Structure 1
């Protein structure tokens, strides 16, 4: 049986923590959806989602991240035709990532069952043993066609590093493997290709190479390379991906190290590229600003084959 979700009638919740462009993005959202609510400054990803579920007042709830700018002004006037079982799934739309040109679910608009938002325990290993680095590893997940928004993660060096680190780590590991023991054979190019999809490998390479022409883009690239190395080669516990304080401490250590010695940032980039190429066969290149800009402009994200689309 097919059903319609009317986006003009369901709850919309904006989720922000410390994103530099959050106020501008929320104003944009409110201009399109005056009823939009907001969860701000809540620590812990599960707690953020739980609070959004509490604030939502309809069976389905739309979430928009703090670094997400809605570019499709008609999105919230549309209706989605879905199958009845998909009422229990997260429906995910792509977002265009400003600094590297990728477009997929990372940072995109999502539609949740309200009950799932209120109960989710997917990110905090202290609350849920075996918690993963992302909700889609534990919940039904449906791809939707269309790219109704863009996401910008390079407002500051810390935010760029955090976004790159989290995505570099997630893309370098198979879904649902928060502990090193879950994938004991990781650490070789063969294992990476065996466990990680071709689409995610392409995204990983772009995160690790493209964006140097954008302010703080080099930090996003460095974060992605470091996250990839730590997740795929250094047996990192994936709980760090959801630990913003831990990532901030890691960034401070990196920033202090680079500030102490001129040229240290560039040297670290070369070492990480060499390691990722030699041990994981990623075939990364160091792109200057012109090369990075050209790569982003030339890249065309593959069309997302999503069964659900706005009407």
Structure 2
């Protein structure tokens, strides 16, 4: 079992055009002055690959531009087993922590902190670089492990456009089943 101290990993703040990104970047630098920034890179896949290319550690942490990290995250030491409960190798898995959506109070993985294996991130094909229609989202196609702890808050309503974009993206994701479009009848059957 490997032990990972998050403060020994590169930490990347990934921002694009979030109205509150400078405020959140300053907050992160106050907590971890060694954090690095990826700013203005178009595309989710490209921005994460840019972080992987700049990472000097085998794993790295990403913080989204609309996110504020709680202080206690930097006290985390992960005990990472070699395999999951089914015996699958998890050395190339992405670990995702929950975030609290500050608009509606929901706590789930959207916008949460992620711990990426560098080589995996360099070779993935997601979002704008996906090979198929289903590969657009990290949580559906990658070796993705959702953790239950909450270590950040997502503020995605700093402007009407940011709120619309976040809500639209989330609405589209919720209308899919593991990234696959399903008919309205099948959707209704799965929900009820």
Q: What is the TM-score with the length of structure 2 in the denominator?
A: 0.90
1:10 — aligned with what? Answer: 9
2:21 — aligned with what? Answer: 22
1:77 is displaced (CA, Å) by 2.7
Do 1:11 and 1:62's aligned partners in 2 also have CA atoms closer than 8 Å?
yes
Q: What is the CA–CA distance in structure 1 between the aligned matches of 2:55 and 2:163, rounded to whole Å?
A: 30
Q: What is the CA–CA distance in structure 2 between the aligned matches of 1:158 and 1:100, rounded to whole Å?
A: 17
2:179 — aligned with what? Answer: 176
Q: What is the CA–CA distance in structure 1 between the aligned matches of 2:120 and 2:98, rounded to whole Å?
A: 21
1:172 is displaced (CA, Å) by 1.2
Encode CA deviations 1:216-274: one digit per residue, 9 max, x unaligned: xxxxxxxxxxxxxxxxxxxxxxxxxxxxxxxxxxxxxxxxxxxxxxxxxxxxxxxxxxx
CA RMSD of aligned residues (A): 1.7
Q: What is the CA–CA distance in structure 1 between the aligned matches of 2:33 and 2:72, rounded to whole Å?
A: 14
1:77 — aligned with what? Answer: 75
Encode CA deviations 1:139-180: one digit per residue, 9 max, x unaligned: 111121211110011111111000000000101111132xx5
Do 1:11 and 1:36's aligned partners in 2 also have CA atoms closer than 8 Å?
yes
Unaligned runs of 5+ in 2: 83-88
Q: What is the CA–CA distance in structure 1 between the aligned matches of 2:123 and 2:114, rounded to whole Å?
A: 16
Do 1:49 and 1:120's aligned partners in 2 also have CA atoms closer than 8 Å?
no
Q: What is the CA–CA distance in structure 2 between the aligned matches of 1:57 and 1:30, rounded to whole Å?
A: 18
Higher strand content, 1 or 2: 2
Cα distance change, pair 66–168 in 1 and its aligned pair in 2 (3 A): same
Do 1:94 and 1:149's aligned partners in 2 also have CA atoms closer than 8 Å?
yes
Do 1:123 and 1:131's aligned partners in 2 also have CA atoms closer than 8 Å?
no
From 113, 116, 121, give the equivalent of 1:112: 116
Structure 2 SS opposite 1:150: strand
- Please tell me whether residue 92 in structure 1 is matched to residue 85 in structure 2: no
Q: What is the TM-score with the length of structure 1 in the denominator?
A: 0.57
Structure 1 SS opposite 2:148: coil
Q: What is the CA–CA distance in structure 1 between the aligned matches of 2:72 and 2:117, rounded to whole Å?
A: 22
Query: How many aligned positions are there?
Result: 186
From 118, 126, 130, give the equivalent of 1:122: 126
1:114 is displaced (CA, Å) by 0.7
Do 2:138 and 2:144's aligned partners in 1 also have CA atoms closer than 8 Å?
no
Report the structure number with the largest CA radius of gyration: 1
1:137 is displaced (CA, Å) by 1.5
Do 1:133 and 1:170's aligned partners in 2 also have CA atoms closer than 8 Å?
no
Q: What is the CA–CA distance in structure 2 between the aligned matches of 1:116 and 1:46, rounded to whole Å?
A: 12
Unaligned runs of 5+ in 1: 199-280, 282-311
2:86 — aligned with what? Answer: none
Q: What is the CA–CA distance in structure 2 between the aligned matches of 1:130 and 1:61, rounded to whole Å?
A: 27
Q: What is the CA–CA distance in structure 1 between the aligned matches of 2:30 and 2:77, rounded to whole Å?
A: 19
From 187, 192, 201, give the equivalent of 2:184: 187
